[in-house]
């Protein structure tokens, strides 16, 4: 990481004023997301421009494209993407922790499906040397989501933890984080095709769907200490039934059902400190990330279709060539 005390913006060697991005000008199905040329964004005070090497594809991005999620200030053309990795290209005044050329990963609300993204300095951390670009580009969202959820569940040494949708991008990190934080037993739900994958991560796999409560109790007759749901209302009900502590059951998707059951709502925000803790665990070998799909920027619509199909193992990312 480079310390830079410049008072003014440091520009890149590129003189281009336009960039390629995947964006949409109307809400709708995946077809509305298409490649286009847009102006290169300029960093303001306290901001950093990153030349993106890879960006993750998240369910949030799909909700945005469909119009289900409409952040304040989002105007057409909208560039989705809320996690990315790349090299610092330019900095705004007051930026002290990063300089041009630094490899970083970070998070944003919008804008990562592009050659360049501008974010506040506090949205970035240094990319570990051990982390490949594809992994780094799709790391922040699920890593921070798992950290946020397991923190709320108060996962710690000796716990028995249930993770639903354990083979997905967030689920695989949640399994590994629970183990890293000392959980003795981690039970993960997934299709049978992903059971060996979960065993390799240190989880005891069970098949999701009808009868889940009985299958979990066969492994943990006294119930589980904490449970994370990433599958939906049915899995959440089963999780609540087998949990010994209702205040340690968290859902990432079935918020209405959680309210009906009187379960806590997950709150909190993404932070660089949270992300840095997770990248530190990755650098130590405590976390692994499986990339199940890698698409060029021009195929962003196909990448979102793959995420929409669900039940896949690991992450889907967009990548483009190094400058």
Helices (H), the chain: 59-66, 133-137, 140-152, 169-180, 195-201, 212-219, 233-242, 255-261, 272-283, 300-309
Return d(Cα 94, Cα 47) in angstroms, integer: 8
Q: 190-227: b or e for each residue (b if 16 or more CB lie within 10 Å)?
A: beeebbebbeebebbbbebeeebeebbeeebeeebbbb
> Which residues of the chain, if any, have pLDDT below 50?
1-8, 11, 13
pLDDT value at position 16?
82
In this predicted model, what pLDDT tens digit does every residue of 41-80 receive, in sequence order? 999 999 999 999 999 999 999 999 999 999 987 899 999 9
pTM score above 0.85: yes
Distance CA 57, CA 77 (A): 18
Residue 15 is predicted with a pLDDT of 62
DSSP 8-state secondary structure symbol assigned to residue 8: S
264: how many CB neighbours lie within 10 A of its CB? 15
Check residue 73 and give its pLDDT.
79
- Within its chain, how far is the Cα of 239 from the centroid? 23
CA-derived radius of gyration, the chain: 20
- How does pLDDT run across 244-295, given as a tens digit for each residue? 999 999 999 999 999 999 999 999 999 999 999 999 999 999 999 999 999 9
pLDDT at 11: 46
The 3-state DSSP class for residue 154 equals coil
pLDDT of residue 278: 98
Is the Cβ–Cβ distance between 60 and 122 less than 8 Å?
no
Q: What is the DSSP string of 35-83?
A: EEEEEPP---TTEEEEEEEEEE--HHHHHHHHTS---TT--SSB---SE
């Amino acid at each position: 990481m480079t310390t830079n005390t410049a008072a003014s913006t440091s520009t890149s060697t590129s003189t281009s004023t336009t960039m390629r991005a995947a964006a949409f000008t109307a809400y709708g199905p995946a077809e509305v997301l298409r490649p286009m040329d847009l102006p290169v964004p300029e960093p303001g005070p306290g901001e950093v421009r990153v030349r993106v090497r890879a960006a993750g594809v998240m369910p949030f991005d799909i909700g945005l494209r469909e119009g289900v999620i409409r952040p304040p200030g989002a105007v057409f053309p909208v560039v989705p993407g809320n996690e990315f990795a790349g090299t610092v290209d330019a900095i705004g005044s007051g930026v002290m922790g990063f300089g041009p050329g630094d490899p970083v990963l970070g998070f944003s609300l919008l804008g990562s499906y592009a050659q360049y993204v501008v974010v506040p300095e506090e949205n970035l951390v240094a990319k570990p040397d051990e982390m490949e670009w594809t992994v780094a580009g799709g790391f922040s969202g699920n890593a921070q989501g798992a950290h946020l959820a397991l923190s709320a569940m108060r996962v710690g040494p000796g716990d028995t933890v249930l993770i639903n949708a354990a083979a997905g991008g967030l689920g695989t990190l949640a399994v590994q984080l629970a183990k890293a934080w000392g959980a003795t037993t981690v039970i993960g739900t997934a299709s049978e095709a992903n059971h060996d994958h979960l065993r390799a991560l240190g989880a005891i796999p069970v098949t999701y769907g009808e009868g889940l409560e009985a299958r979990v109790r066969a492994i943990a007759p006294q119930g589980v200490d904490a449970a994370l749901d990433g599958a939906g209302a049915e899995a959440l009900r089963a999780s609540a039934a087998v949990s010994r502590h209702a205040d340690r059951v968290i859902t990432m998707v079935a918020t209405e059902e959680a309210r009906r059951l009187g379960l806590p709502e997950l709150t909190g925000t993404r932070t660089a400190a949270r992300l840095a803790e997770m990248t530190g665990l990755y650098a130590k070998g405590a976390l692994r990330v499986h990339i199940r799909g890698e698409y060029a920027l021009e195929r962003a619509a196909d990448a979102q279709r793959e995420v929409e199909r669900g039940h896949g193992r690991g992450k889907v990312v967009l990548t483009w060539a190094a400058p």
